[in-house]
Amino acid sequence: MKNIGLIIVDEEHDSSYKQAEYPPKYHARDAAIVLAKECNCPVVLGSATPSIESMHNTNNGKYTLLELPERVDGAKLPKLVLVNTTEMKKKGEMENVFSKMLLSAIDERIKKNEGVILLQNRRGFATQVYCVECAHLEKCENCSVGMVYHIKSNNLKCHYCNAIKPMPKACSMCGSKNIKLFGTGTERVEDELQAYFPSAIIERIDSDTISEKGKLGETLNKFRDGEIDILVGTQMVSKGLDFPRVTLVGVISAESSLWMPDFRAEERTFQMLTQVSGRAGRSILPGEVMIQTCDSGHPLMKFIMNNDYHGFFARDVQSREFRNYPPFANLCLAETKDKDPRKASETLIDLYKEMFNYNRAVSILPPSAALLAKIKNEFRFQMLIKTSRSIDPSASILRDTIAHAYRVFRQKGKHKDVRIILI
């Protein structure tokens, strides 16, 4: 394209802008900024929940902050209700995964033919299948993860390698028939909801249901026209849907993405819950949002309930500065993968030593097995490599150190066929 005059990156915080899986690996938002610099044109990064990095850049004067304090059409912010599921359980106010409050709010909307969106960010029916007698968890043979029970196909699926096996009738370890299903996925939400509202039209949106081309658009059109009462889905339902008839948004378990060992876990959770809340009451009809969680005391919840982005940002950015994470540090995750765990681990340790001896300005968290230690029959080891922005503003020290270690490994590494992934 010639003569680019303006680049707009909408929902700039969205993590799907980052392509980390296959080369070329890049972040589309950052690429847009580089392109705009070359074309000498402005970039508009739009978001109701800007990424910590972008907001930080408005504070340090790199970007200019433009605010839109009013909602479109003068719509009012929805009313937010936090539902403490632990307390509700004690009081007998829970019906399976739903609080009675949420069920009666849904009932009210169905009677008025208003739309309802329910978010549960896990697909499948039960996220864990385990034996009560011996505590054996049904795991994938190729990956070190539990398999997820899918009720529609009545089988167990691995969400990492797509392996499928039949739902066992008895424990594969001790033979006991006392097998329990734990953890809630979108299928369970849909299934239980249908039992409470037998005449309601419920559709589910997750990667299991929308693989068919055109299916997503078709479902959304029906929902817009009022042919569907309730939409149940993963984070897909939090993104950009603008339907004036939606007056209730329910979150089944808000804490489910907080346990992730990722320095962006809180940011992602804040963005997802704030974004999904924004789907309610986008026009004249007032909206209501019910967020269920067993962790209602989590500091994040206060910011979500008060719709306080700036408060959330101040807390998160301070914690990142304290722990030396982006935007205060340059970060690279190095991963080695191999069918032989010894080779993968030795390679990573060799890289670690090479980097450590090359430049002491680089800090490296010691190599360890990845949280998901085996995926698709390959063992994974990881280490986090950092430099502080104060001494390495353009990340050239970080890049140079990694490039050096990589070069040495390719020349004289013990296991030349081990895969090295740098993200």
| CB-CB neighbours of 420 under 10 Å | 18
For position 358 contacting Zn ion by CB under 5 A, the verdict is no
**Which residue, among 190, 199, 233, has the nearest Cα to 96 in the 3D structure?**
190
Q: Whose Cβ is closer to Zn ion: residue 136's or residue 245's?
A: 136
For position 28 contacting Zn ion by CB under 5 A, the verdict is no
For position 370 contacting Zn ion by CB under 5 A, the verdict is no
Cα-to-chain-centroid distance, residue 298: 18
Residue selected from 116, 140, 348, 398 as contacting Zn ion according to rule CB under 5 A: 140
Stretch in the footprint of Zn ion (CB under 5 A) among 13-21, 52-60, 123-131, 347-355: 123-131
Q: Whose Cβ is closer to Zn ion: residue 52's or residue 131's?
A: 131
Instruction: Report the nearest approach of Zn ion to the CB of residue 14 (Å).
Output: 27
Instruction: Report the nearest approach of Zn ion to the CB of residue 23 (Å).
Output: 23
- The whole-angstrom separation of Cα 216 and Cα 222 is 10
**Which residues, 6+ apart, have CB-to-CB distance to 410 below 8 Å?**
416
- The whole-angstrom separation of Cα 33 and Cα 361 is 28
Residue selected from 32, 117, 131, 228 as contacting Zn ion according to rule CB under 5 A: 131
For position 264 contacting Zn ion by CB under 5 A, the verdict is no
Instruction: Report the nearest approach of Zn ion to the CB of residue 95 (Å).
Output: 29
- The whole-angstrom separation of Cα 272 and Cα 121 is 10
Angle at 220 between CA 215 and CA 224, to 5 degrees: 150
The string of DSSP letters for 97-144 reads TEEHHHHHHHHHHHHTT-EEEEE-S--SSBSEEEETTT--B-B-SSSS
- The whole-angstrom separation of Cα 226 and Cα 246 is 10
For position 55 contacting Zn ion by CB under 5 A, the verdict is no
Residue selected from 58, 128, 142, 307 as contacting Zn ion according to rule CB under 5 A: 142
- The whole-angstrom separation of Cα 176 and Cα 173 is 8
Q: Whose Cβ is closer to Zn ion: residue 56's or residue 159's?
A: 159
| CB-CB neighbours of 395 under 10 Å | 15
Instruction: Report the nearest approach of Zn ion to the CB of residue 244 (Å).
Output: 42
Q: Whose Cβ is closer to Zn ion: residue 17's or residue 160's?
A: 160
Q: Whose Cβ is closer to Zn ion: residue 35's or residue 163's?
A: 163
For position 133 contacting Zn ion by CB under 5 A, the verdict is yes
For position 148 contacting Zn ion by CB under 5 A, the verdict is no
3-state class (DSSP) for residue 300: helix
Instruction: Report the nearest approach of Zn ion to the CB of residue 416 (Å).
Output: 27
Q: Whose Cβ is closer to Zn ion: residue 156's or residue 171's?
A: 171
How do beta strands 128-131 and 179-182 pair?
A: antiparallel
For position 104 contacting Zn ion by CB under 5 A, the verdict is no
Residue selected from 71, 100, 136, 415 as contacting Zn ion according to rule CB under 5 A: 136
For position 373 contacting Zn ion by CB under 5 A, the verdict is no
Task: Please report where in the chains the tokens 């020349």 appear, as a residue.
Answer: 411
The site map against Zn ion for 149-188 (x = CB under 5 A) is ---------x-xx-x-------x-xx-x------------
Stretch in the footprint of Zn ion (CB under 5 A) among 57-65, 79-87, 126-134, 321-329: 126-134
Q: Give the ranges where 359-418 is alpha helix by DSSP (H).
A: 396-412
Q: Whose Cβ is closer to Zn ion: residue 6's or residue 134's?
A: 134
**Residue 203's beta-bridge partner residues?**
231
Interface residues with Zn ion (CB under 5 A)? 131, 133-134, 136, 140, 142-143, 158, 160-161, 163, 171, 173-174, 176
